[in-house]
Amino acid sequence: MNQRVAQRALQKLAAEVTLANNGAEALERIAETAFDAVLMDCQMPVMDGFTATRRIRERESREGLGIHLPIIALSANVMSEDRDNCMAAGMDAHLGKPLEPTQLADCLARYLKADAAADAVDMEALHALTGGDAEFERELVETFVSSGDQCLADIVAALAMRDWETIGKRAHSLKGASANMQAHSLSVAASDLENAARAQSVQELDGLVHHLKDRLHAVNAAFAKVS
């Protein structure tokens, strides 16, 4: 029943869904086909979701291609300890059961990058902000790209040093700058990272930094197309 409910919720979001009845089947499907994300039930027969997730992360590390498949835990257990166990296994996010469609949509939007550069920046709003002054807009873009890349570099370095304060400060700066540049999805990603760093939600930080990197690259690509 849980599987059918999740499948219908995903189909209403225009997703193409492949089902696996246990963790071992999930590994087989992922080896055969490239997926945008996985909803991983924690408790399954044959192989549970924790073991399957660890196997996926081990393969990603072994292959060394820089690929990080978003894995979203599904569990009836919503206590903080259960959530921490999901993150420790390598999952990126946690959703409780019964599945709430709005939360599912928000979570997928946070990790999927299908819209990429097309929706990364509201260019019409940016043009309105600069009053159609192409030179001024170009200066803003150049400054943003340079400072944004530096913020990301600082965040990645701080993550390796477990420097949560620096991560929070740099994410805060990028949040404001991207909002000014009408890059709203990047601003949301930076806000999520800032909040996690302030709360020292260690298990979330890797996934949030990876998501921030994807959104920043999409914004830079959008600006490159119009510069």
3-class SS at 72?
Answer: strand
Q: What is the torsion angle, in degrees rounded to the nearest 10, for the CA atoms of residue 138, residue 208, residue 158 and residue 80?
A: 150
Whole-number mean pLDDT of the chain?
87
Domain total for the chain? 2
Mean pLDDT, range 174-189, rounded to an integer: 91
Rounded to the nearest 10 degrees, what angle do helices 134-161 and 164-180 cross at?
A: 160
pLDDT band at 176 (very low <50, low <70, confident <90, very high): very high
Report how far residue 12's alpha carbon sits from residue 6's, in angstroms, rounded to the nearest whole number: 10
Q: Which domain holds residue 22?
A: 2-111
pLDDT for the residue 37: 92
pLDDT for the residue 79: 59
Q: Which residues contact 225 (CB under 8 A, 6 or more apart)?
A: 117
Burial environment of residue 198 by CB neighbours within 10 A (0 to 12, 13 to 18, 19 or more): middle
Residue 110 predicted with pLDDT over 90: no
pLDDT for the residue 227: 63
Residue where a domain terminates, one of 79, 111, 143: 111
- Phi first, then psi, for residue 8 (nearest 5°) are -65, -40
Q: What is the pTM of this model?
A: 0.54
- The sign of the dihedral angle between the CA atoms of 22, 27, 32, 36 is positive
- Please check whether residues 104 and 188 belong to one and the same domain: no
pLDDT band at 173 (very low <50, low <70, confident <90, very high): very high
Burial environment of residue 67 by CB neighbours within 10 A (0 to 12, 13 to 18, 19 or more): exposed
Output the domain CATH number for residue 210: 1.20.120
Output the domain CATH number for residue 34: 3.40.50.2300
- Please check whether residues 80 and 159 belong to one and the same domain: no
